[in-house]
Structure 1
Amino acid sequence: MRDEAPRAVTAICRSLQEQIVHGLLQPSGQLPSERKLSELFNTTRITLREALGQLESQGLIYREDRRGWFVSPPRIAYNPLVRSHFHAMVQEQGRTPATEVLSARLVPAAADICARLGLPGLSGVIQIRRARRIDGRLVLYVEHYLNPSYFPGILYYDLTRSLTELYASEYGIHYGRVRFDMVPTALHPEAATTLRTAPGSPALRITRLNRDQHERIIDCDVEYWRHDAIHVCVEVPE
């Protein structure tokens, strides 16, 4: 009896994986409810959820709170060596990007942000929080921290557009050197709520520290990607 549950989990995983691979379950398509899947596989909800959790960890399916389970669409290729921005990167891969501004304001800078931007303690920074979609699916929660000295009046602009383009067109500022830090992480509650998933869900955190053409540190971005939405791909030239 002890071996029945693991065997059932394996069988469910294999069956759903085959359906996805052969195109019978389409990318972004919704799976039947857990109740219906339990009946289909003649198993308990506990066993079914273990199987679904394993498929989610593999990036084959994902869950949205109060909506259910879905088949993961293809990942976006992300090359940090290519100078681009979210909308251009997504469009170049034949997908549809969208950006929503969650908040934009001047806030007291946390100690780690002061350290990253080279600001003294108790400094103010411009914080812009945004949610980003690919083909309608929420995949990215990002916090931008800008040194206000370089971007007066930026809060009055349309912040759904590319900040890269906004910096260039309105402030004559272009990105120079960029430092990337990438680590697997778990979504904190604010990011998880924005992405309609559970706190603690796996994610990839990408932190970018950006300098301009004059070597000034101008801003810092902290991105939280759903782990099944992105594929980091780097080709180093000879």
Structure 2
Amino acid sequence: MREASVPLHERVRNQLADEIGAGVHPRGARLPSERELCARLRVSRVTLRRALTTLAEEGLLAASHGRGWYVSAEQVGEPANALLSFTAMARAQRLTPSSTVLSQQVRPADLDEAQQLGVAPGADLLDLRRLRMLEKLPVALDRSRVPLAVAPELAEHDFSDRSLYDALTRAGAAPQRADYSVEAQPASPDQATLLDLEPGQPLLVTRQVTYSGDGRVVELGGIIYRGDRYRFRATLLAPATAASAC
């Protein structure tokens, strides 16, 4: 098809898509303003917005109210049925992880935590909250509660550049399995600020109870992911009775 026969908004869409694919506009980066794009591409704002809307519908762009248009970031996802730390999951996909420690404190376990962790009420636990990033883009809010009886030295670690799972492994309490759940919820104002979202945008909330090889609970964990930067995958098997009936 000759270029002259392609609608102008499609040509603009194709040019911008090519630039994104070539890395001119990196993943997670903000595009130039609409005024700048109109001037460079020599099109009206109506034509430009039609092209941008098409790219957003295709998942290449995302609009942020009052902030402009952003190139969609790569989604991170865990391999089906594999227990990995955030750090290991990111590096397996050749992404650079980083963290900002929001809070790190040693405090007594409350009754519910003590019951889940299998420790006495009031026993010391590490309560760690972090903002997790990939390629310097905010992806998730992470909270871990670990009984210090498992690894007392954790209280002294700097987890801005260290994997909690690696630290547990070195302490002889390597995570081996987890009970895991996922649900959706809208972003609160505080969560939206930290994750660079608008309040009410979708989040994926994961919760897990993590066990070492000897059956001890070593972590009560929870990660809140941006809905557009995380993909959950699982392998589903039919029950034996259902399979035999097929």
Secondary structure of 1:173 counterpart? coil
Which residue in the other structure is 1:203 paired with? 203
Which residue in the other structure is 2:194 paired with? 194
Q: How much has 1:61 moved relative to structure 2?
A: 3.0
Q: Matched residues in 2 for 1:136 and 1:233: separation?
A: 24
Tell whether 2:130 aligns with 1:130.
yes
Q: How much has 1:236 moved relative to structure 2?
A: 6.0
CA contact (8 A) 1:117 1:220 kept: yes
CA contact (8 A) 1:65 1:197 kept: no
Q: Matched residues in 1 for 2:66 and 2:152: separation?
A: 41
CA contact (8 A) 2:130 2:142 kept: yes
The one-character-per-residue Cα deviations of 1:69-128 (angstroms, maximum 9, x if unpaired) are 311132223225223222222122122111221210034657764564356767664210
Which residue in the other structure is 2:244 paired with? none
Q: Matched residues in 1 for 2:10 and 2:144: separation?
A: 39
Q: Matched residues in 2 for 1:165 and 1:112: separation?
A: 26
Q: How much has 1:149 moved relative to structure 2?
A: 2.9
Give the aligned CA root-mean-square deviation in angstroms.
3.9
Q: Matched residues in 2 for 1:89 and 1:191: separation?
A: 22
How many pairs does the alignment contain?
A: 221
Matches within 5 A, 1:86-125: 86-107=86-107, 113=113, 116-117=116-117, 125=125
Moved more, 192-201 or 159-168: 192-201
CA contact (8 A) 2:210 2:217 kept: yes
Which residue in the other structure is 2:220 paired with? 220
Tell whether 2:21 aligns with 1:20.
no
Q: Matched residues in 2 for 1:220 and 1:38: separation?
A: 50
Q: How much has 1:182 moved relative to structure 2?
A: 0.9
Secondary structure of 1:88 counterpart? helix
Q: Which has the higher contact order (CA 8 A, sep 6+)?
A: 1
Secondary structure of 2:87 counterpart? helix
CA contact (8 A) 2:203 2:225 kept: yes
Q: How much has 1:209 moved relative to structure 2?
A: 1.0
Q: Matched residues in 2 for 1:20 and 1:235: separation?
A: 33
Secondary structure of 1:150 counterpart? coil
Q: Matched residues in 1 for 2:146 and 2:134: separation?
A: 25
Structure number with larger C-alpha Rg: 2
Secondary structure of 1:215 counterpart? coil
Using the size of structure 1 for normalisation, the TM-score is: 0.72
Q: Matched residues in 1 for 2:190 and 2:110: separation?
A: 17
Moved more, 105-114 or 124-133: 105-114
Matches within 5 A, 1:135-214: 135-159=135-159, 160-169=161-170, 171-214=171-214
Secondary structure of 1:31 counterpart? coil
Secondary structure of 2:95 counterpart? coil
Secondary structure of 2:149 counterpart? helix
Q: How much has 1:158 moved relative to structure 2?
A: 2.2
Q: Matched residues in 1 for 2:200 and 2:110: separation?
A: 22
Instruction: Name the % identity.
Output: 24
Cα–Cα, structure 1 residues 58 and 128, in superposed 2: closer, same or farther, change >3 Å? farther
Using the size of structure 2 for normalisation, the TM-score is: 0.70
Letter in 2 for 1:214: D
| Stretches of structure 1 lacking an aligned partner (at least 5 in a row) | 1-10
CA contact (8 A) 1:167 1:173 kept: yes
